[in-house]
Amino acid sequence: MIFHETTLRDAMLIEPEPRGDDRGFFARMMCREEFAAHGLISDFVQHNMSFSRCKGTVRGLHFQRGAYAEAKLMRCTRGEIVDVIVDLRGTSPTYLKHEAFHLTAENHRLLYVPPGFAHGFQTLTDDVEVFYPVSAAYAPSMEGGLRHDDPLVGISWPLDVSGVSPKDASWPFLQRGAPPIF
């Protein structure tokens, strides 16, 4: 696997190194030792999958707090997405900065999202599947989120937003000068 640092501290874009022949290819998607060598969490206790019917759908931006703060390893297994992460760690030099990543079923890239980040994605095609293990079990009381259109974050989504859940549309906007979430 090839680990690429991002502009956000501790987040990584990971490219598998396929080994192939006329049958196809084989590639590792996670290796505990390689993750540890890069300082990444590799103990994933829950594996999630989402399916979105329509292009333009936005899911997120989600995070969990406290002991339930989670690392995620995002992979698009069908279709295409733009995956966006926002650093919410108040002591980080990249606090409140965001970065977007193009993940597709064809490019096989993985995005490592560290604890303390909000995460969301927009579908760029219809019928998108995303698979992602997380390092902490879901705890509804510890869940939080940012609105996809929060002006303090300023995400420019590549497509018009065609669908957002009522819960995701109801997250409050961040307030300048408010204490950090993490």
Q: What is the pLDDT along the chain (182 residues), one digit of tens a residue?
A: 999 999 999 999 999 998 999 999 999 889 999 999 999 999 999 999 999 999 999 999 999 999 999 999 999 999 999 999 999 999 999 999 999 999 999 999 999 999 999 999 999 999 999 999 999 999 999 999 999 999 999 999 999 999 999 999 999 999 998 999 99
Task: Assess if residue 176 is contained within a domain.
Answer: no
Q: Would you tell me how many other CB atoms lie within 10 Å of the CB of residue 89? A: 20
Cβ burial, residue 180 (10 Å; 0-12/13-18/19+): middle
161: Cβ–Cβ under 8 A, 6 or more apart, which residues?
Answer: 56, 57, 58, 122, 148, 149
pTM: 0.95
Task: Assess if residue 180 is contained within a domain.
Answer: no
Q: Kindly list the catalytic residues.
A: 62, 132
β-partners of residue 62 are 119, 145
When divided into structural domains, the chain yields a total of 1
According to DSSP, residue 84 is labeled E
Task: Assess if residue 7 is contained within a domain.
Answer: yes
Domain of 44, CATH number, reads 2.60.120.10
Give me the domain span that covers residue 35.
2-17+28-163
